Amino acid sequence: MENFIVSARKYRPATFNMVVGQDTITSTLKNAIKNNHLTQAYLFCGPRGVGKTTCARIFAKTINCSNLSSEGEACDKCESCLSFNSQRSFNIHELDAASNNKVDDIRSLTEQVRIPPQIGRYSVYIIDEVHMLSQSAFNAFLKTLEEPPSHAIFILATTEKHKIIPTILSRCQIFDFNRIHLEDIIGRLSYVAKNEGIEAEDEALHVIAQKADGALRDALSIFDQVVSLCGKSVKYRDVIENLNVLDYEYYFRTVDAALRGDLSDILLTFNEILENGFDGHNFVSGLNNHLRDLLVSRDEATLKLLETTPSVRQRYLRQTSDCSLDFLYKALEAGSNCEINYKSSKNQRLHVELFLIQLCRLASGTGEELQKKNDRPEKKIKAEAEIPLPPKSEILRENDKPDARSKKPAPHIYHEEKQTDSQSKSFSVREVISDDEKPAANLTAVHEPEKAEQPALVKAELDYDSFEKAWKEFADSLKGEGTRVISMFKSIRPEIINDQLIKLHMTNAAQKDLFIQNYKQRLKSFIAERFQSEDVEIESVVESSETNEIIYTDEQKYTYLVNKYPMLKELKKTFNLDLL
């Protein structure tokens, strides 16, 4: 029985032309070989499974080929190529930096570099995962990397370029490998399936390529896994079941239910997804991608961004014709917020269901109507019950006057008045004037509310009593700003010089600075509003005794306080207190 070889090894490219999805890099390397512009060190960096090590091996094989083709490819016939193909070449040395990351390993490599090749012109040293080298190993490698022997060429490969020190990067030619496009992966999988005699549906290969996320090696490994299950016939349904991938049919059903406003159907669809073992977060992420694909399908210019099979592309075109741009914008915004807050939600199922409910409201227009309704100012709800005006037939005629001798007051006569657009055709019960309170002549005032007259502002006189009252009110308004501010205003002594100047005596310079920065303008505005005067100036001064006298000892402090508060001396004598 023949041993099985995985597709990633069996169909590994042997020439530059067989490399998938890295045309720019392979063209550059071939031109460098043809023109003999080879440098001493190269750095191949990029995601996993995109061909870094493969290109390094092809490059090492090609530069030692003695019969290069006109396209810059190896001949596969010379001794160097044959030894490389049979894995017995002594010109190519591969080193795993993950397990050889010490200084001693680099020293051994440095000693080995001195030995010239037996066959061919160059000894090529491929160091994989070079970012795993320690700092000391990098430093030991610097000199050899910068000035190696003429026959030595280093090719460094890594998936994390940012971990390599700048002194290494500056000594290398850097080639950045990109993720392989979906079409290129599908084409390579179709080639492998054809060579292996396997019938594979396009949708199945598309799902495998999407699952690989730009890595061809991962795609080939997944393909082998699916073939082990399906045999010679790979179908879409078998692939999604084997890879635990959510069927795109669910996304089409979800959007269709949202467009119909069918809340029951959309919630049942989500429940079916959960019962099949799928995670709600994956569903939200996939639905957001589906909405994005619907958005790019609306324009022919962006249609190329839709990576899917032709049959599924037609379904996108049909569904996007039923979706408005406004719906897609708001749905993408809601889906993005749902995905961001999913992990932090305590009830994750309800979190997703609220997002689906919002989709139904957006599609049915309910969300837009509610938004417009919320944007309009609502009329105040009257507490009084309103009753309609009596019809014209019930209005009392002029000759139906009551008997003057009757004690009952005359019934109210409603005068027919022309209604304007701003006037209501109904009136409040509280506005109905009782017969015992007001005469009938005042009934017409119900429909003609009088405007309240605004009292004229009178300039108040600025004297000590009025200012002392205003000062107290202003200080009380600052109670929420802390005891320090309240204590400061209690210690300030205001003095009215004239009707245009108020002098505030402060106890220290710190109070003055605090007052000027935070409260002077507020006090000035308060006084201007209270006394209707914009010309009042406020001057803050510090007591001279406070600025000149410096208090050090306890006796000096006591003397100062007694002079300021005479009752302190009586307090000391009454309680027989001593200075500390």
Q: What is the CATH number of the domain that holds 473?
A: 3.30.300.180
Task: For residue 31, tell me if it sits in a domain.
Answer: yes
C-beta atoms surrounding 289 within 10 Å: 14
Q: What is the pLDDT of residue 377?
A: 44
Q: State whether 226 and 283 are in the same domain.
A: no
What is the extent of the structural domain holding 207?
A: 182-243
In which band, very low, low, confident or very high, does the pLDDT at 447 lie, cut at 50, 70 and 90?
very low
The per-residue pLDDT for range 172-182, each reduced to its tens digit, is 999 999 999 88
Rounded Cα distance, 468 and 474, in Å: 10
In a domain, 349, yes or no: yes
96 and 211 together in one domain:
no
- Token couple for 229: 């299950």
Rounded average pLDDT over 364-373: 49
Question: What tokens does 158 get?
Answer: 């890594």
| CB 78, CB 48: distance < 8 Å | no
Residue 452 scores a pLDDT above 60: no
- The predicted-structure confidence for 528-539, as pLDDT tens digits, reads as follows 877 777 777 888
* Whole-number Cα distances in Å, 327 to 257, 259, 320: 14, 9, 11
Asked if the structure places residue 528 within a domain, the reply is yes
Of 159, 176, 193, at which residue does a domain stop?
A: 176
Is residue 425 over pLDDT 70? no
pLDDT at 460: 61
Pair 169, 312 in one domain: no
CA separation for the pair 465, 288 (Å, rounded): 71
Higher pLDDT, 468 or 544: 468
For residue 467, what are its two tokens?
Answer: 């200012």
Mean pLDDT score, 65-86 = 83
Q: What are the tens digits of pLDDT across the range 474-492?
A: 888 887 777 777 778 878 8
Rounded to whole angstroms, the Cα distance separating 87 from 92 reads 9
Same domain, 11 and 149: yes
Q: Are residues 153 and 230 in the same domain?
A: no
For residue 417, pLDDT beyond 70: no
What is the C-alpha separation between 523 and 538, in angstroms, rounded?
A: 9
pLDDT score of 351 more than 90: yes
Contact indicator for 55, 17 with CB cutoff of 8 Å:
no
Q: Are 93 and 112 in contact (CB under 8 A)?
A: yes
| Percentage of residues of the chain with pLDDT beyond 90 | 18
Averaged pLDDT for residues 115-142? 87
Co-location of 159 and 210 in the same domain: no
Residue 449 has pLDDT above 60, yes or no: no
pLDDT at 133 over 70: yes
pLDDT for res 337 = 93
pLDDT digits (tens, 9 = 90+) for 135-174: 888 888 888 888 888 889 999 999 999 999 999 999 999 9
| Alpha-carbon gap, residue 536 to 46, rounded angstroms | 73
Interval 256-307: pLDDT, tens:
999 988 899 999 999 999 998 888 999 999 999 999 999 999 888 888 888 8
- Domain annotation covers residue 312: yes
What are the φ/ψ torsions at residue 373 (nearest 5 degrees)? -65, -40
Range from 278-287, 427-436, 523-532 that averages highest in pLDDT: 278-287
DSSP string computed for 170-195: TTSEEEEPPPPPHHHHHHHHHHHHHH
Q: How far apart are CA 255 and CA 359, in angstroms?
A: 8
| pTM for this predicted structure | 0.57
**Same structural domain, 52 and 110:** yes
And the tokens for 440? 């009938």
Query: Looking at the domain assignment, is residue 444 inside a domain?
Result: no
Q: What is the pLDDT of residue 336?
A: 93
Question: Which residue, of 127, 155, 176, is where some domain finishes?
Answer: 176
| Average pLDDT of span 517-546 | 77
Examine residue 131 and state whether it is found in any structural domain, yes or no. yes
pLDDT digit string, tens, across residues 381-405: 333 334 444 444 444 444 444 444 4
Higher-pLDDT residue of 188 and 118 is 188
Q: Which residue has the higher pLDDT, 463 or 453?
A: 463
Q: Find, among 431, 425, 426, the residue nearest to 412 by Cα.
A: 431
pLDDT at res. 491? 81
Clarify whether residues 293 and 305 are in a common domain: yes
CA 219 – CA 230 distance, rounded (Å)? 16
Identify the residue whose tokens are 């001693």.
104
Tell me what the pLDDT averaged over the chain comes to.
79
Q: Do 494 and 503 meet the contact criterion of CB atoms below 8 Å apart?
A: yes
**Residues constituting the chain:** 580
Domain tally, the chain: 5
- Residue 384: its pLDDT value, please? 38
Q: Is residue 414 in some structural domain?
A: no
Q: Which residue, 352, 368, 384, sits at the end of a domain? A: 368
Distance CA 411, CA 393 (A): 16
435 within some domain: no
Place of tokens 């083709």: 69
Instruction: Assess whether 291 and 197 both reside in one domain.
Output: no
Are 146 and 171 in contact, with CB atoms under 8 Å apart?
yes
- Residue pair 486/478 in contact (Cβ under 8 Å)? The answer is yes
CB 234 within 8 A of CB 198: yes
Residues 212 and 228 in one domain: yes
Sign of CA dihedral 60, 66, 70, 76: negative
φ/ψ of residue 176, rounded to 5:
-95, 115
Per-residue pLDDT of 197-229, as tens digits, reads 888 888 888 889 888 888 889 899 999 988 888
CA distances from 442 to 135, 427, 437 (A): 99, 15, 11
Strand pairing report for 152-158 and 41-45: parallel
Q: What is the pLDDT of residue 500?
A: 77
- Clarify whether residues 164 and 38 are in a common domain: yes
Residues 28 and 164 in one domain: yes
Instruction: Provide the pLDDT confidence category of residue 241 given band limits of 50, 70 and 90.
Output: confident
